[in-house]
Amino acid sequence: MTFALHLDNLPRTIELVRAADGAAELVYVDQRLLPGRLAFSRTRDWRAVVDAVRSLSVRGAPAIGAAGAAAVALWAQARASSRADGSYLAELERVCAQVASARPTAVNLSWGVRRIERAARERVRAGGGAGEVAADLFDAVKALEAEDEAANRSIGAHGAALLPEGARVLTHCNAGSLATVFFGTALGVVYAAAAQGKVARVYADETRPVGQGARLTAWELARAGVPVTLICDNMAASLMAEGEVDAVVVGADRIAANGDVANKIGTYGVAVLARHHGIPFYVAAPESTIDRSVPDGSRIPIEERDPAEVADPLPGVEVWNPAFDVTPAELVTRIVTEKGALRPSELLY
């Protein structure tokens, strides 16, 4: 199917910039306002970045990895006139721990924080002052941003090779450009395949309870010019039974060493359905999402969120609201990273 792909219509989700006065600012899309309004927030306060991550203003594993790194860089900017001594390093450690704890499941957050913390400590060990640390961390965040987009485009190229001509793709949650610095992981596969004329349509699960598919994926695909159909989560089985799905492509928030995949709640069910109907189930994520320190999915911490996301509280009614579930490796056809498309068992080697 031929259609015009307009990736230039997609905003950069998150970016550390220099303001007119030379200070660093984090600019990000406030995703709570989509699809009704595309609005950008700006902050120089690392604490505001933590709040943005917790509130889902910034979401998506690669994007919050960049946000975590930027938060530490903004802290360093605020401390640029202080001494880079023992108390400075102790405060750095406390700030990094606070930033990394903002959301526990997506390993990219702690990965981004650790990367920037290492850069700060290396500069201090080399004799650099706090001002030099701040300058170095700004550059380190910019490098991370560039690497994220490059990784996403590579993921897209590897994943596109797996899709048939005229592919009808089902996705769950949002693993698009909005979940990354730019381009996307699961939707990066779609965009790369669409550029080759291989995509006929994308089916987006609404993704209860927060509606990332309905609010974000559908908005993003339509804006990019990709044919998209929104479905309720409980319609996926019927769609597959009618032969309307050629592949499932989703993102990930953490991948265990054995290939078990933590992703938005409901992903496990989609994987079970795909296996029953003989449909390949692909997971697209950067290498930074693979946590080889975790042997299997049972060790991945699962965030539980506010019950109000599901329903207004009713007297005597409890609400269980896990934000993620774990898809066993045996249900995953391939894990697509910037290095290629691997079977889950190949992660161990």
**Could you list the active site residues?**
253
User: Would you say 99 and 67 are in contact if contact means Cβ atoms under 8 Å apart?
Assistant: no
User: Would you say 136 and 128 are in contact if contact means Cβ atoms under 8 Å apart?
Assistant: yes
282, 263, 272: which is closest to 323 by C-alpha?
Answer: 263
Residue by residue, what is the 3-state secondary structure of 174-187? Answer: CCCHHHCCCCCCHH
E strands, 82-172, where?
167-171
Q: Report how far residue 199's alpha carbon sits from residue 52's, in angstroms, rounded to the nearest whole number.
A: 34
Q: Report how far residue 67's alpha carbon sits from residue 264's, in angstroms, rounded to the nearest whole number.
A: 19
- Phi (first) and psi of residue 254, to 5 degrees: -160, 135
- DSSP secondary structure letter of residue 284: E
337, 347, 334: which is closest to 288 by C-alpha?
Answer: 337
Q: Report how far residue 84's alpha carbon sits from residue 125's, in angstroms, rounded to the nearest whole number.
A: 10
Q: In whole angstroms, how far apart are CA 144 and each of 35, 105, 108, 227, 288? A: 28, 20, 12, 31, 11
